[in-house]
Amino acid sequence: MKNFVVGSDHGGLDAKAAVIALLEQRGATVMDAGTHGPESVDYPDFAVKVAGMVSRGEAEQGVLVCGTGIGMSMVANKFPGVRAALVTDQFMARMAREHNNANVLVLGGRVVDVPTAEKLVTAWLNATFEGGRHQGRLDKISALERELRLV
């Protein structure tokens, strides 16, 4: 099992705790990037921590949770090499891995309940990147990052 970094804002605390427990049960090493309390915080601060660690190779994969997941995914996808996918159902979670090789999964803590969040993470973890034509598409994303001098 890989090493993960997990972060949330105040809107994703319950889901974050459940995701960390699930990952640890599966034998993963998990770093908790916060937040740690119910006080209102700014989601970009936690997306930067998680996406930054994945981008720099300090964590292999990450999970982010905010109220809707929208803001977290916007921030995370600014980082070179990060492929953050906001998912709301198991099909999306599986495709995020199989076709897009997402290395950051993003959830909306006010959109999906905790049992659903656990199912989404499980579907993502159980899926395998298919490579082939999908790798060519990821190569285009990497080329764009180089062209825009993001790497």
Whichever domain contains 47, its CATH number is 3.40.1400.10
**Section 107-121 average pLDDT:** 98
DSSP state of 38: S
Q: Which tens digits make up the pLDDT trace of 34-48?
A: 999 999 999 999 999
Q: Which domain holds residue 92?
A: 3-147
Query: What is the value of pTM for the model shown?
Result: 0.95
Q: What residues are labeled active site?
A: 66, 99
Residue 8 has pLDDT above 70, yes or no: yes
User: In terms of DSSP H, where are the helices of 77-113?
Assistant: 90-98
Q: Residue written as tokens 């199989």?
A: 98
Q: Residue written as tokens 């905790």?
A: 114
User: Please, is 5 exposed, middle or buried when counting C-beta atoms within 10 Å of its C-beta (0-12, 13-18, 19+)?
Assistant: buried
Tokens of 30: 């998990």
Domain count, the chain: 1
